[in-house]
Structure formats: C-alpha cells, structure tokens
Structure 1
Amino acid sequence: MSDEETWTTVTRLHDWLTAHQAVPPGQEVLLRVLKLSEEVGEAAQAVIGATGQNPRKGTSHSWEDVQAELCDVVITAMVALRTLTPDAPEVFAGHLRRVAARSLPGEEPEVP
C-alpha cells in the first residue's frame, strides 16, 4: 500500500468513525487521543503476556499479538492526527523529515 493509499484509508476510517460517533463539537479530537492511550495500554498488555510477566496468566500473548497491537497504535494515532487536521499526510511527512534530520547522520534539515 502506498503512502497515498494509506492516508486515503485513514481518511475513510476517520469519516466512518465520525459518522458513527455523536459527540459535541471539539470532543472528537479528545476522544481519539484517549483511544490512543487505550491502544498503547493494549500493546503493553500484549508485551507482558508475550513475556509471561503476569504469574497469574503466564504466557498469554504472542509476539504477533504485540505486532498487531502496535499496528493498532499507529492506525489510531494516524486517525487522531487526521481528526485534528485534514493536512495530516503533509504534517506527518514534514515532522518525520525533521525528526530524521536531527537524528540520522547525513540527513539534511528541512528548509522552511
């Protein structure tokens, strides 16, 4: 799936959620960010389950479960960003370039 297809799908998910979620104006972004926290918790739970760190439950998850939960975190974050701005693809790409420029050797900083 290309970047364009990915963001088209994210927008479709955003639109679907918006159509099925009746909340007062302005609360949609807050709820999407809270959903992100829920997904991060599920990823943490999967890591604990994959490593068997809960003595009561033992090994209750696989590393594939962790992968799926991390994907849910990414998708939820992308939908939250899209909820905040229709320019989400450009905002994300610009931020990724800035992070790469400050973190990776040989990357050029973005010129404003």
Structure 2
Amino acid sequence: MDANTWPLLEQIRECLDQNDGLAEEQDRRFLRLLKIGEEFGKPGETVLGALSLKEGGTREDARHELCDVAITALVALVTLRPDAEMDFDQRLWQLVYRLQKEQVANGVDDRAFPQGKVHVTPHPLA
C-alpha cells in the first residue's frame, strides 16, 4: 500500500454512498459488511478452476478476486471508522508482533520472519 491507498478507498466509499440509494447509514454499514461475505467465496471458486477441479478460473483470476476481497473489507472499514488507516495499521502491528513473539517462544529463528529484516516492537498505540 502507498500514500494513495487510503484516499482512494475514501473516494470509493464516497462514490458508493452517493449511488447506493440507501438513506440509513446503518443499512449502508450492514450491506458493506455483507458484501465482504459475497466477495469471499469468489477466490475459492477461481482457485478450484485454476486447479482444474471446477470449470473456469486461473491463478491470475484468483489473485484479482483476493484483491477484491481486501478492497471490499477496507471500504467497509472506512465506512465504519473515519480513522480506518490508524485502526488498520495498529492491528497489523499487533498481529505481526504476536506472530514474532510466538516464533521466538517456539524456538524458531526470528530472522525467518519476515526475511530477517524487520524486527517488530509493539505499535506505540497498541
């Protein structure tokens, strides 16, 4: 992600808000969360297709569908929270820190996470 990611997500949210025909903010939030569920099934279908277990779908299609899931989830987050970027960053730091702590506790070489270049300390807001 780069400096344009969050402003673009906000633009998507604004566009959806203007065109979704919903008067109630609560309905809008609920439907954005349901949309994540709808998008979630698509990568699985394309992976099955890419593995020739089901007709259609390529690995590239699966990657695109996973991006759609991530974007849909982030737009929902932006809809729910005006400070979504901070929430996302804080949660990402928490998860990485927890994983790194678990690796060290399990005797796994901490250089293996990730590529031995990032040593994570708790996020200042965590």
With the shorter chain as reference, the TM-score category is 0.7 to 0.9
> Which entry has the higher C-alpha Rg, 1 or 2?
2
1:48: Cα distance to partner? 1.2
1:79 aligned partner: 75
Q: Quick one: distance in 2 between partners of 1:109 and 1:90? A: 14
Q: Quick one: distance in 2 between partners of 1:111 and 1:15? A: 30
Structure 1 unmatched ranges of 5 or more: none
Q: Which amino acid aligns with 2:123?
A: E
Aligned residues: 107
- Counting only pairs closer than 5 Å after superposition, residues 96-111 of structure 1 correspond to structure 2 as 96-104=92-100, 105=110, 106-111=119-124
Moved segments of 4+, more than 6 Å: none
Q: CA RMSD in A?
A: 1.4
1:68 aligned partner: 64
Give the secondary-structure state (helix, strand or coil) at the position aligned to 1:108: coil
Q: Quick one: distance in 1 between partners of 2:60 and 2:124? A: 40
Q: Which amino acid aligns with 1:13?
A: I
Q: Quick one: distance in 1 between partners of 2:13 and 2:25? A: 15
Q: Name which structure has the greater RCO, CA cutoff 8 Å, separation 6+.
A: 1
Q: Which amino acid aligns with 2:18?
A: A
1:21: Cα distance to partner? 0.8
1:82: Cα distance to partner? 0.1
Percent identity between matched residues is: 34
Q: Quick one: distance in 2 between partners of 1:42 and 1:52? A: 15
